[in-house]
Structure 1
Amino acid sequence: MSPETLLLLGLSALAVVAAVRWVGEKTGLPGAALLPVIGILYALLPGPNVELDPHIVLTFILPPLLYSAALDSSLLAIRNNLRIVIGLSVLLVLATALLVGAGFALFVTGATLAAGVAVGAAVAPPDPVAALAVGRKVGLPPRLITIIQGEGLLNDATALTMLNVAVAAAMGGEFSFPAAAGRFLLVAIGGTAVGVIVAFGVRLLRPIAKDALLANTVSLATPFVAYLAAEKVHVSGVLAVVVAGLIVGHHMPRSSTGAGRLQTSAVWHLIDFLLEGLVFLLIGQQLPEVLRGLRQYSGPTIAIALAVAVGVALLLRPVWLMLTQAMHLLLRRDDEGLGGREIAALSWAGTRGVISLAAVFTIPLTTDAGLPFPDRDLLLFCTFVVVLVTLVGQGLTFAPLVRLLKLRVNAVDEARMRNEARAAAVHAALDRLDDLDRDEPAERSEIDALRHRLQERLRRYHHRLDVLQNADSDELPVSERYEAGLRIRRLAIEAQREELLRRRDAGTLPDEALRRLERELDHEERVLPDRPA
């Protein structure tokens, strides 16, 4: 493929991703469900197609996506829900792989347990991108968001380790659960250790990375350093990236500057948008590849294999959640369990994605003896169908399900919590000003001016809290005074921006000075909420 053709395909893909984003904003449909369908339609057309290279996905795409998700996650919240997260990301993944493997060995003619466990490991880990995008938009409670995030961060390491063990068994040995468990523990502990070391190294770089550009450079390099370092010592690169991201994200408020955080956040949001869009589009384009080798299988064999893979992927998750919740109630744990509506939502949040396809495409074409890998084409097809069914089917229906279950965060409680934190922060600033007033009386005029501004801000927060306290529903109340204040502040910023542009056009303000002053206004405008909060 020529560079010009590759560039044209890339630009076309970006245009499609942007268009789907626009359609999603207008219709509420998740882009993660629409893009694979568009990819399938493109794959059926004549012309060049892009085939998935699993090593590129696992080395260049997976680390930044996982690291960005880890930065946005809460280490404390995941720790508080660790029992559920570990159950879904480790135990459920292992159970899915083993159950699919047993189903293939028992019901699919000629299939081996190792080959079945391989496809089971590939389809076991949910990709939470679609579920999280929908969940945040419809106001899914923070605890469920944390569980989905935590599961998505940790399950890939479990699945890829299980896949490697199963492939090794299929290549010439026998599948052994004790060997698989031992291997998993080894790579998990090693990956965690590498992640901690990399996060500590990032903290050591803090004194020389105060500049926003340097901080971004370190941030962009961190996931690849963690992944490559772990893979070099043959432990879990995925887990190393996740652990590094969780630790760095937890310490970021103290270890980075405001300018660095703003720029880092913007950079990672753009990377997420582009990579996620491109990989979901890439999923659909793999249809010709997965169909290519199916002619050697009979219709009943394909149907049974699909029934096993899709059935286990869809049904085991709700059964697992109900069983673990029943066990939790039986043991009377102190931590809060899951309700029926929460179990229903989590059951339908198990959308699979590009990691499943990348994993199954790593299965080699031949064994060590030079023979074709057993049922490789059937494994590819089963994985593709599971990804398509869950990504499109569950992705499109997740939002209606959440609305039907009435699983929405209490917006008033959330806004009250934020405004109480804002008020507490202002009180801390006023206390610090009182200390400065005693220690530096010569600066009293500046201190008094800042104290007046802070007290005015505190009055706004207290007024908002009074409105929230008197709210008689879980919907955010609209305050005319609050809305008027936001509108006036936006109009004032707009007037300042127009005056700066008038001076630039008149030749009295250089463009460099304009950009600097515009950044000041942009930061002021950015802190204004889109809606009352």
Structure 2
Amino acid sequence: MNIYLSTTAIFLTVAIANLVAKYIKVIPKTYINLLLGIIIACVPMMNSMIMQFDSESFMVFIIAPLLFLDGQKTRSIMVRQKFKDILGTAILLALISAVISLFTVTSVFSLTLPLALILISISTPTDATALDTVREGRKLPGRTEAVLKMESLFNDASGIILLQAAVLWYKTGHLSYTKNIYDFLLSAVGGAVLGMIIAFIIMIIRQKIMRTRWNVNYSNIVIYFLTPIIIYLISEKLELSGIIAVVSAGLIFNGEVRRTRFSTPRFQNFFNTASDFIADLLNSSVFVILGLAISRIFIEHKSALTDNLDWLYLGIILYVLSLIIRYVYAKFIARNSQIEAVTFSLGGVHGAVTLALAFSLVSQGFSGKIFDLILLVETVVIILSMIVPTIAFKFILDPVLDEDDIELKAKQIRRDMVRVGIAYVESLEISPAVKESVIFDLNDQIQQTTIKDFLSQWRGINNKRYIFTGFQAVEERQILMSAFEEERNFLYDQLDGMALEEAQHIYTVYSEVLVSESMAVENKA
């Protein structure tokens, strides 16, 4: 029962955070999720409602679907174009960082080499979701943005393999370079191949079903969203990289989505909406869970906090070393410009995967002061990697288009559009009840209906005043469709001569009108 209570509490927190973010726009939404997670952990009654962090479940049911959806949004041609950068960041940069950090940390602190490598490997994976948070409202250089995204999709596997090697070294006292390289290649390449094969088979089966009379769209979408979970579990069972497998699977489905947009348009529209909803829900949940976990770490490990401050110094040094190594790599090895090197360095943001890797050590038998040290160090790395770029990007990056300004323009264009539709309806000689109902629906597009108006319409539905049959039903549908056509024509006129980027808010409104018109045509209510 606790798992249901935990899930409900987390999703409710996400909903509240999204509402708060609507009114506190100076703070990114994900930071509000993070803050609410921290607050929940600090309130004993609320904290007791949510289960302890389970790294395995977290990777299977949250990280795997998220990376799958991220992969599905990425064109496979981009992966081919950036393949050299992927190898550089996911393998070369990870190894350079591991070697330099390993000997630097052990020379400053009294740590064994295996324990130092454990700390370094856990902080290897970067997080695209966390990056979107720290750069919100700021425009990254195009090349840097693409490389950072590719890095975050593929370097999780590097961190996992490094961690496995470090744990084995810690337990046995031996480090086999040949075996570790072989394991990495087998895990990464095998995971990629397995993910693509399973995804391709599932895609063909789904496409075959869609072209037969046995097609059931909702069964199809259930299969789609279960795909990353199935692929991840199979890959991990075969000791291959589940992370690489789900990302590769997502790349396969990118082409499918682009080539089946119009075969089942209603289903595709629902699918796009469902994908966006699930991705946003999981992204927000990640930060609520991250806030919970970070707060619990500090609360539950108070004694380790006060014994000494090695955990703090270690976390700071690991993060600073990471910044320096990433900058040198981008500037002198990848030959990036100064601003690209700086933003690449700062863009190595860590998040929930880092924390999941740290907690995965529980199953490896880690506990006591060693485990406390690892958790605290990685928590410092995560916090610094989010706070430092959030501040720095405000000074070194240009702002993107003002979202408030875009929203204001969209609201204004929507109001003008609705006025055109209402003016058209008011010019018609039709039944007063039909006219009142249609004008209410048009005003509802801009939320210009009061609770009093709503209750009046609601009572009208219940006493059949606004339930039309026969000619009136046909009349209402035709007038709604004609009004929407007038609105679309108005929007089309506004697009004349506008650049695509400037006109994006108009396209957004246009798509809403098309959805509204499809609902009027269907008229299931």
Question: Which TM-score tier does this pair reach, normalised by the shorter chain?
Answer: 0.7 to 0.9
- Determine the C-alpha separation between the residues in 1 that align with 2:361 and 2:288: 22
> 219-228 or 338-347: which moved more?
338-347
Specify the alignment match of 1:323 in structure 2.
Answer: 332
The CA deviation at 1:238 is 0.6
Query: Match for 1:301 among 292, 296, 310?
Result: 310
- Determine the C-alpha separation between the residues in 1 that align with 2:143 and 2:483: 36
Query: Match for 2:343 among 342, 345, 367?
Result: 345
Specify the alignment match of 2:78 in structure 1.
Answer: 77
The AA in structure 2 aligned to 1:84 is D
Query: Match for 1:219 among 213, 220, 224?
Result: 224
| Structure 2 residue 307 is the aligned partner of structure 1 residue 279 | no
Deviations 1:209-264 (A, max 9, x none): 36542442232022112111211211001100000101210332224533343222
Specify the alignment match of 1:15 in structure 2.
Answer: 15
Structure 1 pair 266/156, CA: closer, same or farther in 2 (3 Å)?
A: same
Query: Match for 1:266 among 270, 273, 284?
Result: 273
Answer whether contact 1:125 1:152 (CA < 8 A) is retained. Answer: yes
Any residues of structure 2 matched to 1:84-123 within 5 Å, and which?
Answer: 84-109=85-110, 111-123=111-123
- Determine the C-alpha separation between the residues in 2 that align with 1:354 and 1:145: 20
Answer whether contact 1:71 1:248 (CA < 8 A) is retained. Answer: yes
| Structure 2 residue 377 is the aligned partner of structure 1 residue 382 | yes
- Determine the C-alpha separation between the residues in 1 that align with 2:481 and 2:102: 57
Structure 1 pair 167/484, CA: closer, same or farther in 2 (3 Å)?
A: closer
- Determine the C-alpha separation between the residues in 1 that align with 2:150 and 2:109: 34
Answer whether contact 1:101 1:115 (CA < 8 A) is retained. Answer: no
Any residues of structure 2 matched to 1:116-515 within 5 Å, and which?
Answer: 116-132=116-132, 137-140=137-140, 142-205=142-205, 206-209=207-210, 212-255=217-260, 257=263, 258-286=265-293, 287-289=295-297, 292-293=300-301, 295=303, 298-326=307-335, 338-364=336-362, 367=365, 375-403=370-398, 487-488=416-417, 491-492=420-421, 498=438, 506-508=466-468
The AA in structure 1 aligned to 2:183 is R
The AA in structure 2 aligned to 1:189 is V
Answer whether contact 1:103 1:308 (CA < 8 A) is retained. Answer: no
Answer whether contact 1:97 1:120 (CA < 8 A) is retained. Answer: yes
Answer whether contact 1:349 1:398 (CA < 8 A) is retained. Answer: no
| TM-score, structure 2 as length reference | 0.73
| Structure 2 residue 40 is the aligned partner of structure 1 residue 42 | yes
Answer whether contact 1:317 1:347 (CA < 8 A) is retained. Answer: yes
Structure 1 pair 515/485, CA: closer, same or farther in 2 (3 Å)?
A: closer
The AA in structure 2 aligned to 1:382 is V
SS in 1 for 2:44: coil
Deviations 1:424-475 (A, max 9, x none): xxxxxxxxxxxxxxxxxxxxxxxxxxxxxxxxxxxxxxxxxxxxxxxxxxxx
The AA in structure 2 aligned to 1:299 is N
Structure 1 pair 222/108, CA: closer, same or farther in 2 (3 Å)?
A: same
> 200-209 or 1-10: which moved more?
1-10
Answer whether contact 1:69 1:149 (CA < 8 A) is retained. Answer: no
- Determine the C-alpha separation between the residues in 2 that align with 1:219 and 1:507: 38
- Determine the C-alpha separation between the residues in 2 that align with 1:380 and 1:341: 33
The AA in structure 1 aligned to 2:86 is V
> 389-398 or 483-492: which moved more?
483-492
The AA in structure 1 aligned to 2:343 is A
- Determine the C-alpha separation between the residues in 2 that align with 1:343 and 1:532: 36
Answer whether contact 1:350 1:390 (CA < 8 A) is retained. Answer: yes
> 278-287 or 188-197: which moved more?
278-287
Deviations 1:160-210 (A, max 9, x none): 121122122222242333332221111011101111112211231212136
Answer whether contact 2:193 2:245 (CA < 8 A) is retained. Answer: yes
Identical aligned residues as a percent: 21
- Determine the C-alpha separation between the residues in 2 that align with 1:288 and 1:199: 38
The CA deviation at 1:142 is 4.4
The CA deviation at 1:396 is 4.9
Specify the alignment match of 1:444 in structure 2.
Answer: none
The CA deviation at 1:295 is 3.2
The AA in structure 1 aligned to 2:303 is R
Structure 1 pair 399/263, CA: closer, same or farther in 2 (3 Å)?
A: farther
SS in 2 for 1:508: coil
Structure 1 pair 277/139, CA: closer, same or farther in 2 (3 Å)?
A: same
Structure 1 pair 262/95, CA: closer, same or farther in 2 (3 Å)?
A: farther
Specify the alignment match of 2:512 in structure 1.
Answer: none
The CA deviation at 1:522 is 9.2
- Determine the C-alpha separation between the residues in 1 that align with 2:379 and 2:29: 18
Deviations 1:278-332 (A, max 9, x none): 2112112223335544635842533442233222233322122112134xxxxxx
The CA deviation at 1:112 is 2.0
Structure 1 pair 486/144, CA: closer, same or farther in 2 (3 Å)?
A: farther
The AA in structure 1 aligned to 2:74 is S
Answer whether contact 1:94 1:121 (CA < 8 A) is retained. Answer: no
The CA deviation at 1:123 is 1.0
Specify the alignment match of 1:531 in structure 2.
Answer: 505
SS in 1 for 2:315: helix
Specify the alignment match of 1:420 in structure 2.
Answer: none
- Determine the C-alpha separation between the residues in 1 that align with 2:107 and 2:229: 41
**Aligned-pair RMSD on alpha carbons?**
3.9
Deviations 1:120-167 (A, max 9, x none): 111111101132356574444544332222111111111112112212
- Determine the C-alpha separation between the residues in 2 that align with 1:398 and 1:506: 54
- Determine the C-alpha separation between the residues in 2 that align with 1:381 and 1:194: 36
The AA in structure 2 aligned to 1:347 is S
Answer whether contact 1:40 1:284 (CA < 8 A) is retained. Answer: yes
- Determine the C-alpha separation between the residues in 1 that align with 2:482 and 2:240: 46
Answer whether contact 2:138 2:394 (CA < 8 A) is retained. Answer: yes
- Determine the C-alpha separation between the residues in 2 that align with 1:303 and 1:485: 52
